[in-house]
C-alpha cells in the first residue's frame, strides 16, 4: 500500500511517499481503508522530532474511511461500513481507563504520535476506536472532527466547567481547536471573544458565531478584552498558543476565573506573578485530549448537526509536503486534509 513516512526528523522535505506492506490484522482489530486524514499541529511537532517516536513513522491522528476487514473477535462492524477512528491509544484495563480517564492512562498516546497514524491507505486499529458515522457526513468532515472537538470539549466541560451564558476568550479562531471551541461555547449561549491574524479569518470567526473578534497582530488582546467587558474580564480563557499569548491571557481573566490550556505552540515558558494568582483566586488547569466518553458525547452533537466540521482544504496523500507547508504557514481556516 501507499503511505507517507518519515525516516528522519526535519522539515516537510523529510516526508516520503512510498510503498509499504499492508498491516497484519489481529483478532481484536478492525482494518480501515483510509479515505481522509486531517492534519494537526501535532504532525508538525512529531515530524520535527519528539521523544519516543520510532522511525520510520507514519503521521496522522484524525482518520475516516471504510471498514475493509475485521478480526475474528469483532462481530458488530461489517466491511463497507463508514467509520471514523478515535485518535488515541490506551491500555483499557488500568484503574484510570476503567474509571473513564483514558487520557491519564500511563500507556496513553495519540495515534500518529506514539503509534503509526493514518497517512496511508490502510490502518489496523482496536475495535473500541472505530465509530460508525452517518451517511450525511463526508469523509473529509468526519476526519476533521475527532482530535480538535474532543480536545475542546474536554477543555471546556471536563476541565473548565463551562456554564451557559459565560464569557470566554478563545485564542486562534482559525485553528481546528479554536473553531471547535467557538461552536461549543455558542451552543451554550456563551459570549465569545476570539482572535485571528487577518480580516478574512476574523470574518470567518464571526460566521461561526463569535460575538467579538480581535486582530492579535494589530491589537493588544488584553486591552481589547477589558474594553469589551467593561474592565471586568472573562470567565474562561481558552489557551493553546503558549508563551506568546500567556501574559494577555492572564490579564484577561476576571477575579475567580479559569484559564485552561492544552498547548504551547509558540513556546512552553510561561510566567505568572503568584500574588496575582492568589489575590484574584484564579484557576489554571491543564488539559490533554479527553476520554472516549467525551468523544462520543461531542460526536452526538456533530451527527445531529449542532456542531460542524470546519474544512479548509484537501490534498492527495502524495502531496503531503504541500499540506504540511500550508499548515505550518498558518494559511488556513479549519482543517487541512490528506486523501489517499
301-310 pLDDT, tens digit per residue, is: 999 999 999 9
Q: What is the mean pLDDT of residues 104-116?
A: 97
pLDDT band at residue 209, thresholds of 50, 70 and 90?
Answer: very high
Same topology between domain 2-145+309-339 and domain 149-286: yes
If one looks up domain 149-286 in CATH, what number appears? 3.90.180.10
How much is the pLDDT for 265? 86
- Mean of per-residue pLDDT scores for the chain: 97
How much is the pLDDT for 99? 95
How much is the pLDDT for 213? 98
Q: What is the pLDDT of residues 122-145, one digit of tens each?
A: 999 999 999 999 999 999 999 999
Whether the upstream peptide bond of residue 56 has omega within 30° of 0, thus cis, is yes
> Which pTM was predicted?
0.95
Q: Assess contact for 85 and 110: CB atoms under 8 A.
A: no
Q: Assess contact for 61 and 43: CB atoms under 8 A.
A: yes
Identify which of 205, 194, 213, 237 has the alpha carbon closest to the alpha carbon of residue 333.
205
Q: What is the mean pLDDT of residues 198-206?
A: 94
- In sequence order, the 6+-apart residues with CB closer than 8 A to the CB of 64 are 34, 35, 36, 37, 82, 83, 84, 85, 133, 139, 140, 142, 143
Cα–Cα distance, 337 to 273 (Å, whole number): 41
Comparing 145-149, 152-156, 261-265, 292-296, the range with the smallest average pLDDT is 261-265
**So where are the chain's domains?**
2-145+309-339, 149-286
Q: Per-residue pLDDT for 24 more than 90?
A: yes
| Set of cell numbers at residue 60 | 496522522
Identify which of 142, 220, 207, 219 has the alpha carbon closest to the alpha carbon of residue 174.
207
Q: Assess contact for 234 and 211: CB atoms under 8 A.
A: no
Q: Per-residue pLDDT for 164 more than 90?
A: yes
Q: Per-residue pLDDT for 26 more than 90?
A: yes
Does CATH place domain 2-145+309-339 in 3.90.180.10? yes
Amino acid at each position: 500500500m501507499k503511505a507517507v513516512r518519515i525516516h528522519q526528523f526535519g522539515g516537510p522535505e523529510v516526508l516520503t511517499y512510498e510503498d509499504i506492506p499492508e498491516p497484519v490484522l489481529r483478532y481484536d482489530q478492525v482494518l480501515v481503508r483510509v479515505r481522509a486524514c486531517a492534519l494537526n499541529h501535532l504532525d508538525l511537532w512529531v515530524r520535527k522530532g519528539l521523544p519516543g517516536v520510532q522511525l520510520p513513522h507514519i503521521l496522522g491522528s484524525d482518520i475516516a474511511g471504510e471498514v475493509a476487514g475485521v478480526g475474528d473477535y469483532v462481530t458488530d462492524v461489517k466491511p463497507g461500513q463508514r467509520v471514523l477512528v478515535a485518535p488515541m491509544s490506551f491500555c483499557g484495563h488500568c484503574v484510570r481507563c476503567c474509571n473513564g480517564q483514558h487520557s491519564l492512562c500511563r500507556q496513553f498516546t495519540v495515534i500518529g504520535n506514539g503509534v503509526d497514524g493514518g497517512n496511508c491507505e490502510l490502518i489496523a486499529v482496536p475495535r473500541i476506536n472505530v465509530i460508525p458515522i452517518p451517511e450525511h457526513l463526508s469523509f473529509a468532515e468526519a476526519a476533521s472532527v475527532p482530535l480538535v472537538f474532543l480536545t475542546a470539549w474536554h477543555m471546556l466541560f471536563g476541565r473548565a466547567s463551562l456554564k451557559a451564558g459565560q464569557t470566554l476568550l478563545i485564542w486562534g479562531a482559525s485553528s481546528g481547536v479554536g473553531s471547535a471551541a467557538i461552536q461549543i461555547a455558542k451552543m451554550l449561549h456563551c459570549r465569545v471573544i476570539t482572535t485571528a491574524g487577518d480580516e478574512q479569518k476574523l470574518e470567518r470567526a464571526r460566521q461561526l458565531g463569535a460575538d467579538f473578534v480581535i486582530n492579535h497582530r494589530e491589537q493588544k488582546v488584553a486591552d481589547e478584552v477589558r474594553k469589551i467587558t467593561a474592565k471586568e474580564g472573562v470567565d474562561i480563557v481558552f489557551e493553546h498558543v503558549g508563551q506568546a499569548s500567556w501574559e494577555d491571557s492572564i490579564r484577561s481573566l476576571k477575579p475567580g476565573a479559569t484559564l485552561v490550556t492544552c498547548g504551547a505552540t509558540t513556546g512552553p515558558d510561561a510566567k505568572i506573578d503568584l500574588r496575582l494568582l492568589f489575590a484574584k483566586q484564579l484557576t489554571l488547569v491543564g488539559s490533554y485530549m479527553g476520554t472516549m466518553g467525551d468523544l462520543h458525547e461531542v460526536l452526538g452533537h456533530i451527527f445531529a448537526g449542532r456542531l460542524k466540521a470546519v474544512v479548509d482544504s484537501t490534498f492527495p496523500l502524495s502531496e503531503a509536503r504541500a499540506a504540511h507547508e500550508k499548515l505550518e504557514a498558518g494559511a488556513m481556516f479549519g482543517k487541512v486534509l490528506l486523501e489517499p
